[in-house]
Structure 1
């Protein structure tokens, strides 16, 4: 469990206005901030924040709460996960006690799988026998330093990724849920990306959450 003291510490370090402004345009109105609600479609702002109390409310859909409930709704997290999310953002180390099962959530497994996938793609680019992806990046002014800085990669295909992730302990369903593999029927999997240079996509917390791929020569996306 996360202690009440740690919850209060995370809450105090998490400015609701700044967090909402990451995705919502807010305008000051007196001592409050107003904007269009991010949780339902509207053209007239009915979503407001009271900075003094760090609470939010939408008069349109009726939703409201504090910074934790906002992150729970925006990121589709449980309450403990929302605390950890904000703690990571603020650089606060939590000292959980008791049941640790939250650490094994589906979301955490997907994060781990994507990180392992990014590592595999990056290794294939930097150390793989196929020199085409390195030549491709170099031809566009992106040498080794750029590839390392942005963790660029190469997807060779031929089920190389599926084989690697299986050996790393990930299940077929986890690979499908992370969208790095596709089902070919009868329980067979295939790599989602093949013969592509790869661009990992990270969220604001530094988690690898998706990938973009680009063909190197002639052909269809």
Structure 2
């Protein structure tokens, strides 16, 4: 999630606007996710692509819509997303499974409309967004340093008790929550027994 120049950020935001407005017009159920969602929620720009969360059943319509806008689409070997590239090569990930759990209608219903680069788009709820970032942490990918500034910028928007409950089974994600508490970025959490997500 490294930062980028204004030129790169502007190109990504232009692609976000084209893709997002097209998906909205086509009636695709989606929400902005990833670094762009963090940016929409007040974090510093740390963008390298555009991520949209959507229902798996809406993937064909989303791909058809983006192809109609001139995007080149691809189905990678991963079984949780498909990809689209605009004419400049900017990547749009269409993600239908976050942290090995299917994107649900309930998650998309919790998304909030936020003005992103002069376009109102549904953006993942901050709690869902943070969970989607930290649940995949593992011994092979455990970069707390890049997550800290993003999470710090959004901390007041997040239900940390819910985050702590959902990520409790993951030693890497739950340790990140403990780190946030010890750094006094968030207040001590009080996890509940409700670990349902998304």
Same fold (TM over 0.5): no
TM-score by structure 1 length? 0.25
Task: Tell me which protein shows more helix as a share of its residues.
Answer: 2
Tell me the TM-score normalised to structure 2 length.
Answer: 0.27
Using CA pairs below 8 Å that are at least 6 residues apart, which structure has the higher relative contact order? Answer: 2
